[in-house]
Amino acid sequence: MKSLRTISLLAVAATVLFASVAQAAPTVALYIGDENHEAATIKPNTPTPLNIYVEGIDDTIFSVEYKVGLPSDLLVVSNTYYPGALDFGSSANGAAIGIGECISSFQETMGHDPLWVHTITVYSLGFLDATDITVGPYEGYATDPATPRYSDCGGNIKPLDGKGATIAVTSVSNGEDSWGAVKSLY
């Protein structure tokens, strides 16, 4: 009887440990392009969406704030927000988005993570070097927070991890059987 109780206790402890490890930290994450890549090439003279999601939250959300660190070679063409949301931030300080209503991220995504909050459409006039696009804390306060944050519908402000993306560079081969070989002659 005692060993059965010990086995049951170990099973419960393993379940709790596994569940806590499996749950990702709440994050505001940025992905490149319509297919939401973590690393992608941004083509010159082509509008490219940078999609921002809140991930790993099984909570209510009323607002979210963060700053996207864009390379200076990218021009912002437009911003699109969650329906009904308002951005109280600025391009210099970051986004401080009021959702406009109290939403449950679990109900809004039908139990599927993540929750889309913002798309920044960017445009590049030329080829870009490989670089990271960062997601960090909003910088619009006298004392800036250490991390991106969100507030739940009870007014509690909670931290988020920031997850950026990488602009990748596509190299052109100059092997004998490629167009790059022809280009290298000129």
User: Mind giving me the DSSP string for 74-136?
Assistant: EEEEEEEESTT-EE-SBTTTBEEEEEEEEEEHHHHTTT-S-EEEEEEEEEESS---SEEEEEE
Q: Give the model's pLDDT for residue 15.
A: 44
- Pair 76, 87: CB distance under 8 Å: no
Low-confidence ranges of the chain (pLDDT < 50): 4-22
Q: How far apart are CA 61 and CA 4, in angstroms?
A: 43
C-beta neighbour count of 97 within 10 angstroms: 26
Q: Give the model's pLDDT for residue 65.
A: 95
Q: Give the model's pLDDT for residue 159.
A: 95
Q: How far apart are CA 42 and CA 121, in angstroms?
A: 11
Cis peptide before 114 (omega within 30 of 0): yes
Q: What contacts 23, CB < 8 A, 6 or more positions away?
A: 56
- All domains in the chain, ordered by first residue: 24-170 (2.60.40.680)
Dump pLDDT digits (tens) for 93-124: 899 999 888 888 766 666 667 889 999 999 99
Backbone conformation region of residue 84, classed left if phi is above 0, alpha if psi is from -120 to 50, else beta? left
* Residue whose tokens read 């950026």: 164
Q: Give the model's pLDDT for residue 79.
A: 94
Q: Give the model's pLDDT for residue 6.
A: 44
- Pair 160, 148: CB distance under 8 Å: yes
- Tell me which amino acid residue 119 is: T
Q: Give the model's pLDDT for residue 23.
A: 54
